[in-house]
Structure 1
Amino acid sequence: MTDGVFKDQQQQNCVPLALFADGVNPNKNQTVQKSIWPLIITWITLPQEMRYILGPMMLAGIVPGYGRKEPKSLDPYINVLVDELLSNIECNLYDAYTDAPVNVKIALLQYLCDIPAFSKLLHCSGQAAIRACFFCKDTGVHSSSVNKVLHISNREFLPTDSLFRKDKTLFAKKTEEETGLKGMHPLHRLPYFDRAHQMQPDGMHTLADVISNILDLITGKSDGPKVRQCEKDYNRFKETWLKRPSSSSAICERPSKQAKKSSAETAVPEPTPKAPPLPAAPWLLTKQGVKLADNRAKSVKYPKGFDYTPADHFTRAWTLRTMHGKQQFVTKNIAAWCIRGLLAKPQEETLFNLFEVIKRLTQPSYSTEQLQGLIEDTSTAVVLLERDFPLTLQNITTHLLHHIPEGYEDYGPLYDRWLYPLERANSWVTRQILQHGHEESTVMQTYRIYDWSSHNILSGEILNCSRQTSLCRMAEKVNSIHHQDISTSSTKRFMLQSDDLSILRDNYNSIYNQSYELFDIDPVVTYLKFSHRQDAELKRQIFFSTTEHQTTASRSHDYCVSVLHRTNLRFGTINKIFLHNHQDKAIMWVKLEMFPIPEQSGLFLVTDDRKIDTHIFSFDKISNPVVFALEDNKIWFLNV
Structure 2
Amino acid sequence: MKIDACKNDCMLYWKDDNCLQSCKVCGASRWKDAKHNGETKLKKGKKIPCKILRYFPLKPRLQRLFMCSKTSHLMSWHHDKRVDDGIMRHPADSMAWKKFDEPHPSFAAEPRNVRLGLASDGFQPFGMSRTPYSIWPVVLVPYNLPPWLCMKQENFILSMLIPGPNGPGDAIDVYLQPLIEELNELWETGVETFDASTRKNFKLHASLLWTINDFPTYANLSGWSTKGKLACPCCNKKTCSTRLKNDQKECYMCHRRYLPLNHKWRNDKVSFDNTVEHRLPPEMLSGDDILDQVADLDGLPLTKDPRKKIKISHKKRGDNWNKKSIFFDLPYWKTLLLRHNLDVMHIEKNICDNILGTILDIKGKTKDTLSTRLDLQEMNIRKELHPIQNGDEYELPAASYTLSVEEKQKKFNFLKILKVPDGFSSNISQCVNLKDKKISGLKSHDCHIILQHLLPLAMRGMLCKSVSEPLIEFSIFFKVLGAKCLSIEELEQIEAQIPKTLCKLEKVFPLAFFDVMVHLSIHLPNEARIGGPVQYRWIYPIERYLHFLKCFIGNMAHPEGSIVEGYLAVECMTLCSRYLNTIKTKFNCPERNYDGGVIESDGGLTIFCEPGKSLKGNSPDKLDSHDLEEAHFYILKNCDEIQPFLE
Using the alignment, how far apart are the partners of 2:180 and 2:627 within structure 1? Answer: 49
**Hey, what does 1:79 align to over in structure 2?**
177
Using the alignment, how far apart are the partners of 1:202 and 1:527 within structure 2? Answer: 39
Q: Are residues 1:279 and 2:397 paired?
A: yes
Using the alignment, how far apart are the partners of 1:188 and 1:348 within structure 2? Answer: 43
Choose the corresponding residue for 1:466, options 569, 573, 584: 584
Choose the corresponding residue for 1:109, options 188, 193, 209: 209
Contact 1:240 1:280 in 2 (8 A): yes
Question: How far apart are residue 544 of structure 1 and its match?
Answer: 13
Choose the corresponding residue for 1:573, options 633, 636, 640: 633
Using the alignment, how far apart are the partners of 2:247 and 2:544 within structure 1? Answer: 34
Q: Are residues 1:359 and 2:359 paired?
A: no
Choose the corresponding residue for 2:163, options 64, 70, 73: 64
Correspondence list, 1:542-581, <5 A? 560=630, 573=633
Question: How far apart are residue 219 of structure 1 and its match?
Answer: 1.7
Using the alignment, how far apart are the partners of 1:363 and 1:138 within structure 2? Answer: 29
Change (3 A) 1:75 1:527: closer
**Hey, what does 1:7 align to over in structure 2?**
106
Q: What amino acid is aligned across from residue 408 of structure 2 in structure 1?
A: V
TM-score, with length taken from structure 1: 0.68
**Hey, what does 1:29 align to over in structure 2?**
128
Specify the SS of the correspondent of 1:41: strand
Choose the corresponding residue for 2:248, options 144, 147, 151: 147
Question: How far apart are residue 621 of structure 1 and its match?
Answer: 3.3
Count of aligned pairs: 485
Choose the corresponding residue for 1:95, options 189, 195, 198: 195
Greater per-residue helix proportion: 2
Question: How far apart are residue 7 of structure 1 and its match?
Answer: 3.3
Contact 1:94 1:101 in 2 (8 A): yes
Deviation per CA, 1:237-261, whole angstroms, max 9, x where unpaired? 3222222344xx7xxxxxxxxxxxx
Choose 33-42 or 335-344, whichever is displaced more. 335-344
Correspondence list, 1:107-506, <5 A? 107-126=207-226, 128-136=227-235, 137-172=238-273, 174-187=274-287, 192-194=332-334, 197-221=338-362, 222=366, 223-246=368-391, 276-311=394-429, 313=432, 315-320=437-442, 322-332=443-453, 334-458=454-578, 461-467=579-585, 469=586
Using the alignment, how far apart are the partners of 1:197 and 1:310 within structure 2? Answer: 35
Deviation per CA, 1:193-238, whole angstroms, max 9, x where unpaired? 2277312211111111111111111122323111111222222332
Greater per-residue strand proportion: 1
Question: How far apart are residue 154 of structure 1 and its match?
Answer: 1.0
Specify the SS of the correspondent of 2:608: strand
Contact 2:341 2:537 in 1 (8 A): no
Contact 1:308 1:329 in 2 (8 A): no
Q: Which has the higher contact order (CA 8 A, sep 6+)?
A: 2
Change (3 A) 1:100 1:551: same
Using the alignment, how far apart are the partners of 2:149 and 2:182 within structure 1? Answer: 24
Specify the SS of the correspondent of 1:149: strand
Change (3 A) 1:351 1:436: same
Q: What amino acid is aligned across from residue 238 of structure 1 in structure 2?
A: K
**RMSD value, Cα:** 3.7
Deviation per CA, 1:449-482, whole angstroms, max 9, x where unpaired? 1111112233xx2214435x467669xx9xx9x9
**Hey, what does 1:265 align to over in structure 2?**
none
Contact 1:531 1:543 in 2 (8 A): no
Using the alignment, how far apart are the partners of 1:35 and 1:46 within structure 2? Answer: 31
TM-score, with length taken from structure 2: 0.68
Specify the SS of the correspondent of 1:133: coil
Correspondence list, 1:585-596, <5 A? none
Using the alignment, how far apart are the partners of 2:583 and 2:379 within structure 1? Answer: 64
Specify the SS of the correspondent of 2:397: coil
Q: What amino acid is aligned across from residue 50 of structure 1 in structure 2?
A: L
Change (3 A) 1:206 1:405: same
Q: What amino acid is aligned across from residue 44 of structure 1 in structure 2?
A: Y
Choose the corresponding residue for 1:49, options 148, 153, 163: 148
Question: How far apart are residue 280 of structure 1 and its match?
Answer: 1.4
Q: What amino acid is aligned across from residue 445 of structure 1 in structure 2?
A: E
Using the alignment, how far apart are the partners of 2:629 and 2:203 within structure 1? Answer: 53
**Hey, what does 1:620 align to over in structure 2?**
641
Using the alignment, how far apart are the partners of 2:113 and 2:142 within structure 1? Answer: 10
Change (3 A) 1:394 1:66: same
Q: What amino acid is aligned across from residue 208 of structure 2 in structure 1?
A: L
Deviation per CA, 1:506-562, whole angstroms, max 9, x where unpaired? xxxxxxxxxxxxxxxxxxx9899x83549xxxxxx89999xx977669xx979748x
Contact 1:297 1:313 in 2 (8 A): yes
Change (3 A) 1:387 1:527: closer
Change (3 A) 1:412 1:156: same
Deviation per CA, 1:66-115, whole angstroms, max 9, x where unpaired? 35x66672122111211121222222211111111112211112100111
Specify the SS of the correspondent of 1:205: helix
Question: How far apart are residue 416 of structure 1 and its match?
Answer: 2.8
Contact 1:200 1:404 in 2 (8 A): no
Contact 1:94 1:102 in 2 (8 A): yes
Change (3 A) 1:37 1:346: same
Contact 2:359 2:402 in 1 (8 A): yes
Q: What amino acid is aligned across from residue 438 of structure 2 in structure 1?
A: R
Deviation per CA, 1:377-417, whole angstroms, max 9, x where unpaired? 12221222222211112111111101111022221121332
Q: What amino acid is aligned across from residue 294 of structure 1 in structure 2?
A: F
Deviation per CA, 1:332-388, whole angstroms, max 9, x where unpaired? 2x2222232333331122212222222222122122222211211122212222222
Q: Are residues 1:531 and 2:552 paired?
A: no
Contact 2:211 2:341 in 1 (8 A): yes
Using the alignment, how far apart are the partners of 1:471 and 1:451 within structure 2? Answer: 17
